[in-house]
Amino acid sequence: METYLGEKQQASQWSPYINNGGSCLAVAGEDFAVIASDTRMSLGYSIKTRYSTKYLKITEKCSIVSSGMQADIFTLHKVLKSRAQIYEQKHGKPMSTDAVAKLVSRLLYYRRFFPYYTFNIVAGIDDEGVGCVFSYDAIGTLERVKYSASGSGSSLIEPVLDNQVALKNRNDIKKEDYKLTKENAIDLVKDAITSAGERDIYTGDFVEISIIDINGTHEDKFELRFD
């Protein structure tokens, strides 16, 4: 169908992808990592469910959160869980966080030409006991960072983390004097995702937060706004 300007207008094509919204973030400290995700699953302007987990504990030292399309998140997490068990049976020990990070990257790239609509963050403790966060794009580009946010609220959360964790654009504090403690990090993550819940309509309901350190993983849950 041609308009009067001569452009072709195409009927909208069916897409295999939808976005179920939600936000995820993770912050790495010196000897710990904090990872969190909300649990709201939306479709358009409706809420499909207030509790649909985006979080998966892979080992005692490593977890993943993913935002994007719930079906792909669910499947990716299933595959990852199975692969972690296979690794443990084959090698007699759990996967290291670096190994998990690489595996996720490869699993995503395996679907290079029909990607998982997932935006993942892997966080945990590396082999030296140092906290680490890995962020990805949909096809597995891997980068180790100190913090990351993904999902519908990421543009609201990322600047907060830039300012509070990386101390960017601050005139009031010297980098050398500052150390991120576990309690500060947990509060920061809670505040960041709560703030995202205030303004982002797709973020809300519950948050699953997890603190990973040398002793293992401690999981917790708290409420956000239900509107």
Residues that bind another protein (CB under 8 A): 78-79, 81-82, 85-86, 89
Minimum CB separation of residue 88 from another protein in Å reads 9
**Contact (Cβ atoms closer than 8 angstroms) between residue 39 and residue 188:** no
Smaller CB separation from another protein, 90 or 179: 90
Q: Amino acid identity of 204?
A: G
Minimum CB separation of residue 57 from another protein in Å reads 14
Minimum CB separation of residue 79 from another protein in Å reads 8
Minimum CB separation of residue 44 from another protein in Å reads 28
Distance CA 97, CA 58 (A): 9
Smaller CB separation from another protein, 116 or 119: 116
Smaller CB separation from another protein, 94 or 159: 94
Q: Which class for 90: exposed (0-12), middle (13-18), buried (19 or more C-beta within 10 A)?
A: exposed
Minimum CB separation of residue 174 from another protein in Å reads 48
Smaller CB separation from another protein, 40 or 77: 77
Minimum CB separation of residue 85 from another protein in Å reads 6
Smaller CB separation from another protein, 13 or 89: 89
**Contact (Cβ atoms closer than 8 angstroms) between residue 148 and residue 133:** yes
Smaller CB separation from another protein, 86 or 214: 86
